[in-house]
Amino acid sequence: MSIIPGTLVKLPNGRNGIVIPSPWWQPGRVLVKMPRGKKRWFRVDECTPIFSN
């Protein structure tokens, strides 16, 4: 499964974040911007995409 930048995701801690483009590519990982602006790497299988209608 791949998650593209700009996707809203639910994180393992229950919070939401947004996937952002990263300066380098890490297989199976995505860079997520947290609500307070902090950026953190997560495994793709830890993030659940949130689809809005």
Q: Rounded to an integer, what distance in angstroms lies between the CA atom of residue 40 and that of residue 27?
A: 15
Q: What is the pLDDT of residue 1?
A: 56
Which residue is listed with tokens 């998650």?
3
pTM, entire model: 0.81
Q: What is the pLDDT along the chain (53 residues), one digit of tens a residue?
A: 578 899 999 999 899 999 999 888 888 999 999 988 999 999 999 999 998 75
Contact 30, 44 (CB under 8 A): yes
SS3 content of the chain, % helix, strand, coil (to 5): 5, 40, 55
